[in-house]
């Protein structure tokens, strides 16, 4: 996706992408970070924040999951906090019945300043504090968001997962340098599938995101990737036997000492 400041338009596009993925056989669909709102100003998400359990973005996720009979994970939804200047950036998962399965609040907040780029999520986001994973028919699924990718201790804290989701809006600068490396490293370290849905393109506010949504297997092989900018769908299979085989042949997780 290349989300902008119009929530209704963003949700319309997200709905079409979820429908296509479902037609292509997806049992779980992951939408990118800021799928519902990536406005001209960082404060726009605060102005459009939703109360937990209410609002257009949460209703959309529940409805999409129920209509298609799949698990839908919304990369991030701005949720109201006690601080009027900040939101929680919540990754929300909904089951085939439309009921919410899990909520993860982004723990690691992005700050980056280089060559004219200046980002500081701490100005508008209140950090979360707890790792979150949930059980799905195809195994345990861990939730992380974007900048969390740089902190391997969070992935260890999730415990054994069959799949870890990484909805993202990596800048072009940081993505071009580190995106593939970090995703493959997290997959190899934890011997799990890693699914990353990313914003990709030039947004209305001038921000350029890296894209390259992809699925990586437990051996670090890229199963599927979208190299083009703009909205699109990446579909790949997560094979529990592949996870078991990698962990059996190289039981690194049981070799940990520290």
Contact call for residues 161 and 139 (beta carbons, < 8 A): yes
Query: In this structure, what token pair is assigned to residue 180?
Result: 């593939």
List active site positions: 33, 106, 146
Alpha-carbon Rg of the chain, whole angstroms? 17
Burial of 141 (0-12, 13-18, 19+ CB in 10 A): buried
Tell me how far apart the alpha carbons of residues 127 and 125 are, in angstroms, rounded to a whole number.
6
Strand 200-202 vs strand 208-210: parallel, antiparallel, or unpaired? antiparallel
Contact call for residues 171 and 119 (beta carbons, < 8 A): yes
Query: In this structure, what token pair is assigned to residue 173?
Result: 């600068």
Query: In this structure, what token pair is assigned to residue 152?
Result: 């391997």
């Amino acid at each position: 996706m290349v989300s902008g400041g119009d929530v209704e338009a963003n949700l319309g596009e997200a709905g079409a992408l979820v429908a296509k993925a479902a037609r292509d056989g997806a049992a779980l669909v992951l939408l990118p970070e800021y799928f519902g709102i990536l406005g001209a100003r960082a404060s726009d998400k605060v102005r459009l924040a939703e109360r937990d359990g209410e609002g257009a973005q949460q209703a959309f996720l529940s409805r999409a999951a129920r209509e298609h009979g799949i698990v839908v994970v919304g990369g991030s939804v701005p949720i109201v906090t006690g601080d009027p200047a900040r939101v929680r950036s919540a990754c929300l998962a909904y089951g085939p019945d439309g009921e919410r399965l899990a909520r993860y609040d982004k723990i690691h907040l992005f700050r980056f300043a280089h060559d004219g780029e200046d980002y500081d999520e701490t100005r508008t986001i209140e950090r979360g504090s707890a790792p979150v994973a949930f059980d799905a028919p195809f195994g345990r699924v861990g939730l992380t968001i974007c900048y969390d990718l740089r902190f391997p201790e969070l992935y260890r804290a999730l415990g054994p997962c069959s799949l870890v989701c990484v909805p993202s809006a990596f800048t072009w600068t940081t993505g071009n340098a580190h995106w593939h490396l970090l995703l493959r490293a997290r997959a190899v370290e934890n011997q799990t599938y890693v699914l990353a849905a990313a914003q990709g393109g030039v947004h209305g506010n001038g921000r350029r995101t890296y894209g390259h949504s992809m699925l990586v297997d437990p051996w670090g092989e890229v199963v599927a990737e979208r190299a083009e900018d703009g909205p699109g769908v990446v579909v790949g299979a997560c094979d529990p036997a592949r996870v078991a085989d990698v962990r059996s042949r190289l039981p690194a997780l049981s070799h940990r000492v520290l």
